[in-house]
Chain A
Amino acid sequence: MGPCDRRTFLRVAGATGALAALYGCGTASRKASGHVVVVGGGYGGATAAKYLRMWSEGRVDVTLVERNARFVSCPISNLVIVGEKTLADITLGYDGLKRHGVTVVHNEAVAIDADKRSVRLADGDTLRYDRLVLSPGIDFIYDNLPGLADAAAPETVLHAWKAGPQTVALRKQLETMPDGGTYAICIPRSPYRCPPGPYERASLVAWYFRQHKPKSRVLILDANEEVVSKKALFMKVWADAYQGIVEYRPQSELRDVDVAKRTAILEFDRVRAHVLNVVPPQRAGQIAQRAGLINVNQRWCAIDWLSMESTAVKGIHVLGDATFPAPTMPKSGHIANQQGKLAAAAIVNLLAGQPPSDQPLAVNTCYSFVDNRNVIHVASVHAYDAATGTLQPVKGAGGVSASPNEVEGRFALAWAKNIWGDMLC
């Protein structure tokens, strides 16, 4: 049974009128019309595509361009790496979006012409749009890690920072590693995708070692000054539950990698590991660069927070990890989903000739497993502040778990189920 099967509404997408009846009534939605192309079917893009259909009551045509046949979730993928979940558990198809009337094109967007308002696909086809949503995710920057250009790198030194084949490959490396070996994870400077993700992964690998390879250790080589998310909670877990297994080294930026020797080269040190897991530095996905959208630190796309529209190119809305974030806003799947809705609401208004809402609001939650059952969260609420022209964290709201607990272990899995449904069902 797939995750969308329990849907009791909208099993069949019919004509505009029928959809309008099912979606209920909005205001701008009655007048909106046009064609929106969404590039990238992850947490941001898939959500935008679905909500554009829903909130326009089926009046706005939506085409989703996604290169992969299926969506594989990064959140929960660390449980696959330690054998608690399978890749199938975190993989979903795009049929749910098709039922919403989204045209799904499995292809790659290779060029954008903002003047002609068109997107060229790898197969030569061209899609015209009234508004474009770009949710391209991240690309890795290898400029300062020349060793990773080694042909053997993709099989030897994995990132597993885009869920899929590398997730499974890292699982295999850990399984075949001899007891007494070292797993090292290299964390780039912030900002990067999923701030607590590397620490969750290190904790879960330590949990796996404690069960199956008790003489092995986990070494965290962090380019940052300190743990960048849920610091006190993670440090306590490592000191208590994983004492003697986890070693944390801050200010340990990776200078290069010797792939053949599985060695991390630091400024003053070389660290050889049995399993070397490098999360490389990141920037907005390549199509954002080609479209001229990257305008912050040569890495990220600045946007107008009222509309999610690029500040560099009109008519293009950018979502998710590719954006230059608002203060304290993390690059997370949860935030990308929220941004997808902000963009959908704004675009439906714009296509109806109305201004976007003047009070966008977004919530973030990142749940992290510290073992197979116990979870800690960090949550925040971000509201638009006209004075600074961006979303600001709401004072007094948000926070972290008091300590790792199993109740939130269940909520974390429920979160995954519901957010996957919210974007794809």
Chain B
Amino acid sequence: MKTAFVAALAIVAGHAGLAPAPVLAVDTDLARNLAATCANCHGTNGRSLGGMETLAGVDKDRLLAKLREFRSGAKPATIMHQISKGYSEAQLELIAVWFAAQK
């Protein structure tokens, strides 16, 4: 498994950092909407029904640190390294703040 992770990380590392999307202030529900793209796996509003980590109520800085580690490849993952690269730093921050606020 370890070698499998390393191989996958090596492939995507070459593309890292190409995905900054501008965050405009037009969508006042942007944080909620972005966070909802995680819910298929992590549960509605980040409340997992099992087998995936719950994100609701997790400290914002902890969430952001993990997401940054996924993006940089520092944290081994099966899929989060690939998904987290689809969001800009600013979007991830919005998402982390939103999940942290869910009780």
Contacts and interface: CB of A to CB of B under 8 A. Distances in A.
A6 B52 contact: no
A359 B30 contact: yes
A2 to B, nearest CB: 11
Contacts of A357: 26-27, 29-30, 33
A28 B27 CA distance: 10
Contact of A414 (B16, B21, B27, B50): B50
Nearest to B44: A422
Interface residues of A, number: 53
Interface in B9-30: 11-12, 15-19, 21, 23-24, 26-30
Nearest to B6: A402
Nearest to A333: B40
Interface string A387-425: 000000011111101110101101101110111011001
Interface string A376-389: 01011101000000
User: Range of interface residues on chain B?
Assistant: 35 or more
Contacts, number: 158
Nearest to A51: B36
B47 interface: yes
Nearest to A361: B37
A411 B82 contact: no
A394 B15 CA distance: 11
A362 B37 contact: yes
Nearest to A398: B82
A27 interface: yes
Most chain B CB within 10 A, of A50, A396, A407, A425, is at: A396
Contacts of B1: 405, 407
Contacts of A399: 8, 11-12, 82
Contacts of B7: 402-403
Given A357-B26, A401-B78, A422-B43, A55 B37 contact: no
Interface in B44-86: 44, 47-52, 78-79, 82-83, 85-86
A383 B8 contact: no
B39 interface: yes
Contacts of A341: 33, 36-37, 39
A397 B86 contact: yes
A418 B86 contact: no
Contacts of B24: 358-359
B40 A337 contact: yes
B100 interface: no
Given A357-B29, A358-B26, A407 B41 contact: no
28 contacts: A26-B28, A26-B32, A27-B28, A27-B29, A50-B44, A357-B29, A358-B26, A358-B27, A359-B26, A360-B33, A361-B21, A362-B37, A380-B86, A381-B83, A381-B85, A396-B85, A399-B12, A403-B4, A405-B4, A407-B78, A408-B79, A411-B52, A414-B48, A414-B52, A415-B40, A415-B52, A417-B51, A421-B49
Interface of B: 1, 4-5, 7-8, 11-12, 15-19, 21, 23-24, 26-30, 32-34, 36-44, 47-52, 78-79, 82-83, 85-87, 91
